[in-house]
């Protein structure tokens, strides 16, 4: 992965994590179902989903 792709990926991951925190504060019952309310190790399936989304969106941003 080149530096630009990695920077976009990291930016998207930061955004998704911050959005997950905001979602968890606004909707604690729903966040608990996704393990977004727990500190420490995140749910591995949610983490893979975030990573795939961040990579895809990062690549789209890089091409524009």
Instruction: Determine the pLDDT at residue 23.
Output: 93
pLDDT digits (tens, 9 = 90+) for 2-61: 799 999 999 999 999 999 999 989 999 998 888 887 776 778 898 999 999 999 999 999
The answer to whether the pTM exceeds 0.85 is no
Domain count, the chain: 1
Distance in Å from the first CA to the final CA of the chain: 17
- Domain hosting residue 57, numbered range: 3-63
CA-to-CA dists, residue 11 to 19, 29, 50, 52, angstroms: 12, 27, 12, 13
Give residues with Cβ within 8 angstroms of 56, minimum separation 6: none
The pair of three-digit structure tokens given for residue 52, joined into one six-digit string: 């795939």
């Amino acid at each position: 992965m080149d530096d630009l792709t990695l920077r976009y990926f990291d930016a998207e991951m930061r955004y998704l994590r911050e959005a997950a925190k905001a979602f968890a504060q606004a909707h604690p019952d729903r966040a608990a179902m996704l393990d977004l309310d727990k500190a420490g190790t995140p749910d591995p399936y949610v983490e893979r989903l975030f990573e795939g989304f961040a990579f895809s969106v990062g690549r789209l941003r890089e091409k524009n």
